[in-house]
Structure 1
Amino acid sequence: MELWLPFVQGSLFSLSLCCDLGIVNVAIIKTGMERGFKPSFMIGFGSCFGDLFYLSLALLGVSVIFEIAVIKWLFWIIGSGVLFYFTYKMFRETWRPRDLPIDAVIAAERPLFRDWLAGAGLAVSSPTVIAWFAFAAGTLLATFDLSDRSALLVFIAGFFTAGLLWSLGVALASSLSGAFFKEKIVRVLSFVSAMLFLYFAIKVFWDGLRDVIG
């Protein structure tokens, strides 16, 4: 397998999480607006490790759980349904963008290391991240060919790199201008997220269907 493919797959897998404007992104944006680039980026940097923690659990679970045929098909049906629901949710927010609850997050002054810890904690406790990894990640990961160790490492590298670059971009934009995060950008991010979810939903459903037919 060419190693660029698992890198791209890992990057898209990560971006499907990043594009959702949940509590992690709200914290990055608010901190950037109030305290500047460095603490904002450190929150995003910490969230990358929280996401990596869940990815590790998902990867470990895939190799065991999906050996059982009944569970494999059950996760295929549930995972496809959840991914199509996320697609619908993001398309709905494209047409009816929600307000970012920036005032609901307190960006207190603290050392940069505590910002990193806060980012990791927010990622681990984020309802969006938990739902994504609980209901869809395992099914999706099972469709990727990650049996080769090199491919697996490149996939993880792509996942982490995309999350890091996303955090860098959001921290920079929010520190320069909070006005950047208005209705238009919410629409754009929701649409991009919807397209990523749609791609993954179709991939999971089609790969599962081929297994059933086969």
Structure 2
Amino acid sequence: MSTLFFSAFVLGFVFNAAPGAVFAETIRQGVKGGFKPALAVQFGSLVGDALWAVLGLAGVGLLLQIDFLRFPVGIAGAIYLLWLAWDSWQEANRDLGTQVSETVSQHRKALRSGILLSITNPQNIAYWAALGSAMGAMGIAEPVTSHYLVFFSGFMASSVLWSFVCAGIVAQLFRRPGANWMSLTYRACAVIFLLLAISSIRNLWDSYIAPKSTAPLPPIHSEL
């Protein structure tokens, strides 16, 4: 069991440390509000991670691979990324000369962003759908409930630890930034969100639309 816990712990670090939309949103919230909003984004993403983890490890992986479930989730994620890109660009154009004080509403907004980014990320679905049926690769031929609980505990333990580490790094790197630096950071986040949205749309096109449009035509039988 200790080996399984350690494997899940390491996988959790690899999964969460990969740069992406959640990390960009952590920077966007942290550059203005500091440690707490950045941590709120990370905690919010854990809600979505926990949801897909429970579904994947509970054996719902096959259900998550159904196209009519993954496609709308991917569309919703792309739309939200586009909205974040627009919102970040608008924030960059506002007066950022004075640091906005931390408020409960700001923390809730950061938490909500983390939740939505995690839930609407189709890569999370694919990751947990595959992992739910890959326990055998860890030497567990017939996993039982205790194995799933140990794996989930290890993954979430490293995820919580990474949340504090990531928020702390962001808070230190962007501690008391100037107005120009804040504006540049917001614009950079906007570009990242836009590129992620385009990449998500392209993946959806290649996976669900392009194969249908390029399907081979049925053979023509000539009658002599």
1:20 aligns with 2:15: no
Match of residue 132 from structure 2: 138
Name the amino acid aligned to 1:122.
L
How far is the alpha carbon of 1:142 from its aligned partner?
4.3
Counterparts in 2 of 1:23-172, with a 5 A limit?
23-61=21-59, 104=85, 106=88, 110-134=105-129, 136-144=130-138, 145=140, 147-172=143-168
Structure 1 runs, 4 residues or longer, greater than 3 Å off: 103-109, 148-151
CA distance in 1, matches of 2:154, 2:131: 16
Which one has a bigger Cα radius of gyration? 2
CA distance in 1, matches of 2:148, 2:58: 12
Further displaced range: 136-145 or 37-46: 136-145
Q: How many residues align?
A: 139
* Helix, strand or coil at the partner of 2:134: helix
Note if contact 2:135-2:143 (Cα within 8 Å) is conserved in structure 1: no
Match of residue 77 from structure 1: none
Match of residue 4 from structure 1: 2
CA RMSD of aligned residues (A): 3.0
How far is the alpha carbon of 1:40 from its aligned partner?
0.7
Listed as ranges, the gaps of 5+ residues in structure 1 are 66-102, 182-214
How far is the alpha carbon of 1:113 from its aligned partner?
3.4
CA distance in 1, matches of 2:172, 2:157: 23
Note if contact 1:46-1:120 (Cα within 8 Å) is conserved in structure 2: yes
CA distance in 1, matches of 2:46, 2:59: 20
Note if contact 2:29-2:38 (Cα within 8 Å) is conserved in structure 1: yes
Identify if the C-alpha distance between structure 1 residues 132 and 148 changes in structure 2 by more than 3 Å, giving closer, same or farther.
closer
Note if contact 2:31-2:171 (Cα within 8 Å) is conserved in structure 1: yes
Further displaced range: 159-168 or 108-117: 108-117
Identify if the C-alpha distance between structure 1 residues 121 and 141 changes in structure 2 by more than 3 Å, giving closer, same or farther.
farther
CA distance in 2, matches of 1:59, 1:148: 10
CA distance in 1, matches of 2:146, 2:59: 19
Note if contact 2:57-2:148 (Cα within 8 Å) is conserved in structure 1: no
CA distance in 2, matches of 1:15, 1:137: 15
Identify if the C-alpha distance between structure 1 residues 142 and 123 changes in structure 2 by more than 3 Å, giving closer, same or farther.
farther
CA distance in 1, matches of 2:152, 2:127: 17
CA distance in 2, matches of 1:142, 1:46: 30
Listed as ranges, the gaps of 5+ residues in structure 2 are 63-83, 92-99, 176-184, 186-224
How far is the alpha carbon of 1:130 from its aligned partner?
3.2
* Helix, strand or coil at the partner of 1:143: helix
* Helix, strand or coil at the partner of 2:137: coil
Match of residue 175 from structure 1: 171
Q: What does the per-residue CA deviation read over 1:13-58, in whole Å, with 9 as the maximum and x for residues that have no partner?
A: 2223212211011111221222100111011011112111111111
* Helix, strand or coil at the partner of 1:147: coil
TM-score for the superposition, normalised by structure 2: 0.53
